[in-house]
Structure 1
Amino acid sequence: MDLMSVPTVLQNAAILTVILALSGYLITSLSAHMLARRRDKLELVNKRINEFYGPLYVASEAGDIAYRSLLKRQGKLQSEPILDSEMKEWMLWMNTIFMPLNDIRERVIIEKAHLIVEERMPQCLLDFVTHVVGYKAVLAKWAEGDYVERRSTIGWPPEFDVYVKRSYAALKSEQTRLMHSAPERIYHRVFGRKPN
Structure 2
Amino acid sequence: MDLLSVPTILQNAAILTVILALSGYLLTTFSTHMLARRHDMLDLINKRLNEFYGPLYVASEAGNIAYRSLLKRQGKEKSDPILDSEMKDWTLWMTTIFMPLNDIRERVIIEKAHLIIEERMPQCLLDFVTHVVGYKAVLARWAEGDYSERRSTIGWPPEFDIYVRRSYAALKAEQTRLMQSMGWRAWQRIFGKNNSH
TM-score by length of 2: 0.91
Q: How does 1:49-88 map onto structure 2 within 5 Å?
A: 49-88=49-88
Other-structure match for 2:164? 164
Structure 1 equivalent of residue 99 of structure 2 = 99
Where 1:180 maps in the other structure, the secondary structure is: helix
Equivalents in 2 of 1:178, 1:77: separation in Å?
41
Q: Which residue does the alignment assign to 1:151?
A: 151
Aligned-pair CA distance for 1:10: 1.2
Q: CA deviation at 1:8?
A: 0.9
User: Contact conserved, 2:45 with 2:175, CA < 8 A, in 1?
Assistant: yes
SS of residue in 1 equivalent to 2:86: helix
Q: Larger deviation: 5-14 or 92-101?
A: 5-14
Partner residue, 1:188: none
1:14 maps to what in 2?
Answer: 14
1:81 Cα deviation after fit:
0.5
Count of residue pairs the alignment pairs up? 184
Alignment of 1:116-195 (within 5 A): 116-183=116-183
- State the AA in 2 paired with 1:45: I
Displaced runs of 4+ in structure 1, greater than 2 A? 181-184
Deviations along 1:130-149, whole A, 9 cap, x unmatched? 00000000000011111110
**Cα offset for 1:6?**
1.2
Tell me the equivalent position of 1:193: none
What's 1:194 paired with? Answer: none
Structure 2 unaligned segments of length 5 or more: list them.
Answer: 185-197
Once the two structures are overlaid, the 10-residue window that deviates more, 49-58 or 77-86, is: 77-86
With normalisation by structure 1, the TM-score equals: 0.92
* 1:79 Cα deviation from its structure 2 partner: 3.2
Q: Percent identity, please.
A: 85
Matched position secondary structure for 1:181: helix
Shift of 1:181: 2.7
Q: CA RMSD in A?
A: 1.0
Q: Once the 2 structures are TM-superposed, how far is the Cα of residue 112 of structure 1 from its aligned partner?
A: 0.4
Q: Residue type matched to 2:50 in 1?
A: N
Name 1:189's counterpart in structure 2.
Answer: none
Contact 2:71–2:78 (CA<8 Å) still a contact in 1? yes
In the alignment, the residues of structure 1 paired with residue 91 and residue 56 of structure 2 have an alpha-carbon distance, to the nearest angstrom, of 23
Match of 2:5 in 1: 5
The gaps in structure 1 that reach 5 residues or longer are 185-196
The answer to whether 1:43 aligns with 2:25 is: no
